[in-house]
Copies of this chain bind each other. A is one copy, B any other.
Amino acid sequence: MKRDDRRQAIMDMLVRDGAVELDALAEHFIVSKMTIHRDLDDLEAAGVLRKIRGGATIEAGTQFESDFRFRAQQGLDAKTRMADAALALVEPGMNVIINDGSMAAVLGARLVEKRPLTVITNNAAVIDALKSEAGITLIALGGIYSAKYNAYFGMVTETALSVLRADIAFVSTPAISGTEVFHMDESVVRTKRAMMGAAVTSCLLANHARFGRTALHKLAELSDFDTIITDKTPAAPDEAPIARAGLALTIAA
């Protein structure tokens, strides 16, 4: 087990239990306490947990899950399938908006398959991936860099979007409940809204586990989207309101 795997595992335990003990971790992973100290220090510096005497805790439940470093590796398979479905909505010559998130990063990197394209994004992973690609006009949305999301947000980002117009915006979310879409971070909500406002059509990307969750800020109604792409049929109680609202749901299985 490598360092990053161990840290990932620590985060998993933290999400499950809400807290971890330093001694227990050292014993469990068969490493010294100092190593666990360093893990917790770095994870704290990355802003995904809070170190306390003898261990660490996680604050608001869903917060860490949006950290790109920990999401990037997970469920790559499902992400690839969802990206396939999303790519079907893109035609060469379009102006495409891609938002933050690791799902969006996977999709963004694969946009080269549809070039020539103009890609507008605040997602640093997408910017890095498309920078050197011929046939892609890359418009980076500026803004304040957020290490947590590996993306740019804030007034600059929203101002930039206000002078742009795209054919389609791909927006992802960590929480869908009933017919409403949520996000825990206000500045992220504002940017996603601005993206939807700047695009003729909007597509929501959400893996099945995101259904039946809420977060502090309401981002939009499901009906604000033209298409919704997910990886598995959501549980019945989550799917019912969507069906009732008559929304099209693409299952990328």
Contacts and interface: CB of A to CB of B under 8 A. Distances in A.
Contacts of A152: 140, 142
A147 to B, nearest CB: 7
Given A131-B147, A132-B147, A147-B131, A142 B163 contact: no
A140 B142 contact: yes
- Which applies to chain A's interface (DSSP): helix, strand, loop or mixed? mixed
A124 interface: yes
A142 B156 contact: yes
Interface in A138-157: 138-145, 147, 152, 154-157
The count of identical subunits is: 2
Given A156-B164, A159-B159, A139 B138 contact: no
Given A142-B139, A152-B140, A156-B139, A134 B164 contact: no
Interface string A159-187: 11011100000000000000000000000
B145 A139 contact: yes
A143 to B, nearest CB: 6
Contacts of A127: 145
Nearest 6 Cβ contacts at the A-B interface = A142-B142, A138-B145, A141-B142, A140-B142, A156-B160, A142-B160
